[in-house]
């Protein structure tokens, strides 16, 4: 065997050995990540769920004691008559959220994302409501997350096309709340539950963002 072939074989052997070592380190790193996710500190606190709407914003405060014990301690629909101006709507939304935050001191906030619409005027109106909501959370330095309607439905019902009636029934069953709670309020509670079910490191996130206004789009 010539010297050139021998050198090539040695180089190839060294390359394979390094690859095995890197793969082993990668496996250890993945194991540590999995272990860290399993051993994350449990979240205990209040989650403010918000379903933005210009004339019917839903609010819900979920009190989480542990993984299997949570209660809906407050819910409200911010109703604004159609005769009122857009400025009045934004003020009412802002004031309602501010009152809830000051009274219940939620730890984190979960907001339903604006759905895609083709009508420009409708999109503009929905954007105004969303802006009022996010402004209120930002001013109160409340860490906030947004969730798409599809993701919320999947988290609560296991089906991305679930109706409002199905979501309402599931929320009533999970949280054991009365049947007369409005769809706006059960939608808000669903957003809060989605946040709790899907964000496995809420305690760490809250600790990291304590005292800071943050907005993470998910």
**Span 27-46, pLDDT tens digits:** 444 434 334 444 456 788 99
Per-residue confidence (pLDDT) for residue 27, from 0 to 100: 45
Domain spans of the chain, in order of start: 1-39, 45-217
Give me the catalytic one of 68, 69, 71, 112.
Answer: 112
Instruction: Give the C-alpha separation, 184 to 168, whole Å.
Output: 9
Report whether pLDDT(1) > 70.
no
Q: Please give the C-alpha separations between residue 143 and each of 42, 136, 195, in angstroms, as whole numbers.
A: 17, 11, 12
pLDDT score of 10 more than 60: yes
Share of the chain above pLDDT 90, in %: 59
Please tell me the distance from the alpha carbon of residue 30 to that of residue 140, in angstroms, as a whole number: 37
The mean pLDDT of the chain is: 82
- Would you say 52 and 129 are in contact if contact means Cβ atoms under 8 Å apart? yes
Structure confidence at residue 4 as a pLDDT band (50, 70, 90): low
pLDDT at 96 over 80: yes
**What would the pLDDT profile of 138-171 be if each residue is shown by its tens digit?**
999 999 999 999 999 999 999 999 999 999 999 9
Task: State the helix-helix crossing angle for 86-104 and 120-139, rounded to 10 degrees.
Answer: 30
Q: Active-site residue among 51, 146, 185, 187?
A: 51
Q: Looking at per-residue confidence, does 66 or 3 come out higher?
A: 66
Arithmetic mean of pLDDT, 102-126: 88
- Given a cut of 90, whether residue 215 has pLDDT beyond it is no
Q: Which tokens is 101 given?
A: 């935050």
| Distance of alpha carbon 72 from alpha carbon 70, whole angstroms | 7
**216 given a catalytic annotation:** no
According to the CATH classification, is domain 45-217 in 3.30.420.10?
A: yes
129 vs 11 pLDDT, higher one: 129
Of 146, 184, 185, 199, the catalytic one is: 184
Is 51 a known active-site residue?
Answer: yes
Residue 184 among the catalytic residues: yes
């Amino acid at each position: 065997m010539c010297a050139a072939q021998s050198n090539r074989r040695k180089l190839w052997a060294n390359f394979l050995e390094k690859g095995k070592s890197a793969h082993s380190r990668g496996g250890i790193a993945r194991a540590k990540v999995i272990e860290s996710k399993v051993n994350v500190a449990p979240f205990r606190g209040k989650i403010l769920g918000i379903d933005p709407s210009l004339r019917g914003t839903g609010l819900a405060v979920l009190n989480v004691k542990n993984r299997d014990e949570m209660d809906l301690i407050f819910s409200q629909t911010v109703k604004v008559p159609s005769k009122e101006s857009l400025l009045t709507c934004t003020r009412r939304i802002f004031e309602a959220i501010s009152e809830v935050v000051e009274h219940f001191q939620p730890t984190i906030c979960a907001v339903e994302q604006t759905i895609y619409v083709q009508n420009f005027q409708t999109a503009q109106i929905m954007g105004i409501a969303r802006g009022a909501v996010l402004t209120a959370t930002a001013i109160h330095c409340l860490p906030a997350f947004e969730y798409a309607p599809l993701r919320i439905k999947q988290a609560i019902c296991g089906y991305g096309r679930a109706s409002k009636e199905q979501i309402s029934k599931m929320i009533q069953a999970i949280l054991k709340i009365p049947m007369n709670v409005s769809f706006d309020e059960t939608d808000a509670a669903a957003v809060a539950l989605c946040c709790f079910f899907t964000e496995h490191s809420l305690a760490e996130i809250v600790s990291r963002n304590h005292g800071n206004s943050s907005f993470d789009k998910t």
